[in-house]
C-alpha cells in the first residue's frame, strides 16, 4: 500500500540528515507482512537505483531494530541476508531507522500456499537451509538468544502489557498471557541443544528464487539458542498446510524423531512475542 506524499515528507523530516538523503528519491510502499512493532516500507528506487527496505520504530521497537542491525551484520558473513545500508538512532524521542537492501525472491510461504505440487521441494529446501544455519560456528556468535534470555524478555513484555492475547494459536484461544507463562513453567527444565538460530524460522521469513533459497529476513531474534527455537516455528507453519510436510521436514533436517516437549515449550514461548 503506497503512503501519501505528505506522510512520506513528515516521516523523512524526522530522520537524521544522512538518512534523509539516502531515501529522498524513492517511492514508498508500506509492507505489513511480518511486522512486529516496527513499521516496514519498501522504497522503490528511481532512475535505475536499487530497491531498499526501511524499518522504523520507537521505544521497544527501536531497541528491536538495533538488535536486528547487529544480527544482520554478523550473519552476513555466512548467509544471504539483507545488507545494512544505514542505521540511525536518536535518543529523544527514542527512535531507530534501519535501511537495508531488498533481496531477490518471493516468500516461501507464498510458494507453499500457491503451488501445492511444489511443497515437497520447498520443504526440502527449507530443511537444507536450516541445517546450514544450525551448522554455523556457535563459538563465533556473540549473541545469546537462549531460553533464559527469552524468558526474561517475555516476562518484561507481560508486565508491560505488550502481549497480544488475541493473536494466540487456536489451541490457546481465550488464554491470558499469565496462563501461557504458567504453562511455560510446567515445561521446565529443558536441555537445550545450542546452535545459531534464526529465532523466527517461518516460511514467511525465507525467500525463494528459481526453486532455491535466496535469502532470509527478519532476523531480529537470531542468536545462540536451542535448535527447537527454529524447529517449532517451521513445524507449526507446515502443520497448518499438511501434517505430512512436518514429517518430511524432520526427516530432511536429519532427526529420527521430534521432541514434542520441546516443541510445546517453544511454541508457548513464541506466544509472548
**C-alpha grid cell, residue 178:** 499469565
Residues 127, 111: Cα–Cα separation, whole Å: 15
The angle at the Cα of 68, spanning 164 to 271, to the nearest 5 degrees, equals 25
| 161 φψ region: left (φ > 0), alpha (ψ -120 to 50), beta (else) | left
The angle at the Cα of 204, spanning 198 to 207, to the nearest 5 degrees, equals 80
Residue 172 to residues 50, 107, 129, 154, 273: CA-CA distances in angstroms?
Answer: 43, 27, 30, 17, 15
* Secondary structure class of 94 (helix, strand, coil): strand
What amino acid positions are annotated as catalytic residues?
Answer: 200
Residues 83, 270: Cα–Cα separation, whole Å: 27
Strands 212-216 and 206-209: antiparallel
DSSP bridge partners of 54: 41, 99
Residue 84 burial by CB count (10 A; 0-12/13-18/19+): exposed, middle or buried?
Answer: middle
Residues 181, 185: Cα–Cα separation, whole Å: 7
Amino acid at each position: 500500500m503506497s503512503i501519501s506524499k505528505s506522510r512520506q515528507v513528515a516521516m523523512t523530516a524526522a530522520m537524521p540528515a544522512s538518512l534523509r538523503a539516502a531515501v529522498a528519491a524513492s517511492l514508498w510502499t508500506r509492507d505489513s507482512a511480518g511486522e512486529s512493532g516496527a513499521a516496514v516500507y519498501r522504497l522503490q528506487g528511481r532512475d535505475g537505483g536499487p530497491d531498499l527496505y526501511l524499518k522504523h520504530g520507537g521505544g521497544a521497537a527501536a531497541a528491536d531494530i538495533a538488535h536486528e542491525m547487529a544480527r544482520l551484520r554478523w550473519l552476513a558473513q555466512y548467509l544471504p541476508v539483507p545488507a545494512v545500508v544505514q542505521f540511525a538512532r536518536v535518543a529523544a524521542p527514542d527512535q531507530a531507522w534501519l535501511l537495508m537492501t531488498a533481496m531477490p525472491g518471493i516468500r516461501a510461504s507464498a510458494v507453499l500456499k500457491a503451488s501445492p505440487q511444489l511443497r515437497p521441494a520447498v520443504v526440502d529446501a527449507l530443511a537444507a537451509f536450516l541445517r546450514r544455519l544450525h551448522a554455523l560456528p556457535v563459538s563465533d556468535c556473540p549473541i545469546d538468544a537462549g531460553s533464559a534470555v527469552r524468558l526474561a524478555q517475555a516476562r518484561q513484555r507481560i508486565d508491560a502489557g505488550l502481549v497480544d492475547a488475541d493473536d494466540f494459536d487456536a489451541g490457546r484461544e481465550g488464554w491470558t498471557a499469565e496462563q501461557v507463562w504458567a504453562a511455560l513453567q510446567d515445561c521446565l527444565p529443558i536441555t537445550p541443544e545450542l546452535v545459531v538460530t534464526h529465532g523466527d524460522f517461518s516460511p514467511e521469513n525465507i525467500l525463494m528464487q528459481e526453486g532455491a533459497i535466496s535469502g532470509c529476513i527478519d532476523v531480529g531474534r537470531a542468536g545462540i539458542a536451542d535448535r527447537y527455537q527454529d524447529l517449532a516455528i517451521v513445524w507449526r507453519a507446515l502443520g497448518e498446510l499438511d501434517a505430512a510436510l512436518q514429517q518430511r521436514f524432520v526427516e530432511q533436517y536429519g532427526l529420527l524423531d521430534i521432541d514434542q516437549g520441546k516443541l510445546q515449550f517453544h511454541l508457548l514461548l513464541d506466544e509472548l512475542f
